[in-house]
Each structure stands twice: as structure tokens, then as C-alpha cells.
Structure 1
Amino acid sequence: MDRVAKLASLKAVVIFSKSSCCMCHAIKRLFYEQGVSPAIHELDEDSRGKEMEWALMRLGCNPSVPAVFIGGKFVGSANTVMTLQLNGSLKKLLKEAGAIWL
């Protein structure tokens, strides 16, 4: 849990992902299209990935990926992020975290 919290606080937007996950790919693309350069942690390519995956599930992320943190705070998984995008509040969160300036 400490490793996840530390990694999540290192950049304005942090995404825990798996390289083979199509929803992870969609979420990463959404952020790139917003002009955000998130820190991406591919759990299936990290030696401690399984441990971090369990920590994310304990945070309430089910499935464990994609898990999105904005401004060091856990936002949610794909459904939550897409809802924020559709209702217009994702851009506000990104501005507040300093991930975008527009």
C-alpha cells in the first residue's frame, strides 16, 4: 500500500495499468488526448506488480486496473473516469492538480 501511495503522489496523474488491458489502453488514450502526460505503471511488467494490484483492490478498485490517481488522490477505475469525462468534471480535476493549464 505504501508503494502505491508513494508512486501515486509523484506526478499530477498516475495510472496503474496492465499492458494487455483494453480498458487501460482506452483510459490512457483519454488522458493523452486531454494533453496530459500521466505516469503509467504497468503492473504486469513490474516485479512487485501483484503486490500493488492487491493494494489497489483493497482501496476499492475492482477490477484492479485501470486505477487512476489525480493530485495524489484515488479517483477510480474506468467507469468513474469516463463518468467524470462525460459530465465535464474531469477537466476541472486535471486543472486543479496542475496536469493541464487550459
Structure 2
Amino acid sequence: MAGAKDKAQKIIDDNKVVVFSKSWCPYCRASKSLLDEKKANYFLMELDEVSDGAALQDALEEITGQRSVPNIFIAQKHIGGNSELQAKKGQLDGLLQEAGAV
């Protein structure tokens, strides 16, 4: 678990915007679509397409208290999932600009 937690934390630390996702998830698609619409530069990790995806998902739960996907970070701050991202739609341009992700 420590290795997965370190890997997840490094991804969060090294990227302005991170979306931990699953390729088949409709909520993940909605989040990626919104970020694409905003022309955001984001790091995408499809947990169902990497060998350590389950361990990373466990690590994210330990880091954030959230097990579900998408699991979104902007400027190293945990935003939450799709509902939280959609709720921040009005502030998103500012958040992405502050993060240097547009």
C-alpha cells in the first residue's frame, strides 16, 4: 500500500490538475468533458487500464476519504468527484487559471 500511496501522492504533487478515472464510468466522462470544454491541461489516470489501479484506488481512499471515481485534484487540492466539479463550474475558469492549467 505504501508504494501505491507514494505513487498517487507523487502524481498529485507533480500535476496541476489530476483526474483519477475509469474509462467506462459516465461520471468520469462528464468530468473529463467539462475539463476538455474548459481547455484544461490535466493528467488523466484510468485506474481500470493500469495494473496497480486497484491499489491506487485504495491509496486515494486513504488520502482523501473518497473511494469513488472520478477523484479530482486541482492545484494539489482535492476537489472531490464529478458532482463537486460540476458544482464549481462557475469558479472553474479561475481555479484552472490559478493552477496554471489553461
Give the TM-score band, short-chain normalised: 0.7 to 0.9
Structure 1 or 2: more helix by fraction: 2
Identity across the alignment (%): 38
Q: Residue 68 of structure 1 aligns to a residue in which SS? A: strand
Q: 1:57 aligns with which of 55, 61, 73?
A: 61
Q: Which stretches in structure 2 are left out of the alignment for 5+ residues?
A: none
- CA RMSD, Structure 1 to Structure 2 (Å): 1.1
Contact kept, 8 Å, 1:15 with 1:67, in 2: the verdict is yes
Q: Residue 94 of structure 2 aligns to a residue in which SS? A: helix
Letter in 2 for 1:39: F
Q: 1:40 aligns with which of 29, 33, 44?
A: 44
TM-score (norm 2): 0.88
Contact kept, 8 Å, 2:72 with 2:80, in 1: the verdict is yes
Alignment of 1:17 onto 2:21: yes
TM-score (norm 1): 0.88
- C-alpha deviation, 1:72, in angstroms: 1.7
Q: Residue 36 of structure 1 aligns to a residue in which SS? A: coil
- C-alpha deviation, 1:12, in angstroms: 1.2
Q: Residue 99 of structure 1 aligns to a residue in which SS? A: coil
Q: Which stretches in structure 1 are left out of the alignment for 5+ residues?
A: none
Q: 1:4 aligns with which of 8, 14, 38?
A: 8
- C-alpha deviation, 1:75, in angstroms: 1.3
Moved over 6 A (4+): none
